[in-house]
Amino acid sequence: MVADIQKAFLQIRLPKEHRDVTRFLWVKNPFLPCTGDNLKYFRFCRVPFGMNASPAILKRSILKHIEQSQSDIASELSNSHYVDNVLLGGSTADELLKKYSESKRLLSSIGTNLRDCLSNSATVNKNIAESDRAASTEIKVLGMQWNAIGDTITLGCIEKQANKTSKKQFSASSVDIVTIILAYYHR
């Protein structure tokens, strides 16, 4: 089963002493010059999505709360989530549904919710609350497209256009070869 931790980044407050680091400017009137009186200063109060450190901060915050729990699912959750995605497995539908319920309860205790839940088991999918169930049987998981019915993962490939190599590009790509040859003959 895969699931998404709803609004995970918005649940993490930034300490007041760290908010100045996340300042940004907003132009009040875009038709006027960017002067001090036409700028408004803002600070993030929550961890902004998209910053380099955001996934690490989120992971550490979730782990801290999970470690404080005495739940059976806590250790599995600590090893089976990546950023805001949760991956759960079970030998039977009943076992997986139990893990889903425990995970949902544990995450709700820290102010988050499991949503967009999807399993390759039709029985499990039917027993997931409709509000938590994924809208489609094909969703993106960890950057890959997963089809739950066929239980297949599709990897996207981007074709690189062949273009004419310039002398500058060629010389830049052959620098390592030249360096190796010179080092060999220098001995």
Q: 176 vs 131, 155, 167, CA distance in Å?
A: 56, 32, 15
116 within 8 A of 99, measured Cβ to Cβ? no
Query: What is the pTM for the complete model shown?
Result: 0.69
pLDDT at position 1:
93
Pairing of strands 2-6, 85-87: antiparallel
**Domains of the chain by start residue, with CATH:** 2-154 (3.30.70)
Q: 160 vs 103, 157, 172, CA distance in Å?
A: 42, 9, 19
Instruction: Walk along the chain (187 residues) and give the pLDDT tens digit of each residue.
Output: 999 998 888 888 889 998 998 899 999 999 999 898 999 999 999 988 788 888 888 888 888 888 888 788 888 888 888 888 899 999 999 999 999 999 999 888 888 899 999 999 999 999 999 999 999 999 988 788 999 999 998 887 777 776 776 766 666 665 555 566 666 565 5
Q: 12 vs 38, 40, 48, 148, CA distance in Å?
A: 31, 24, 9, 31
Return the bridge partners of 36, or none: none
H-assigned helices in the chain: 54-67, 74-79, 93-108, 122-127, 167-173, 175-186
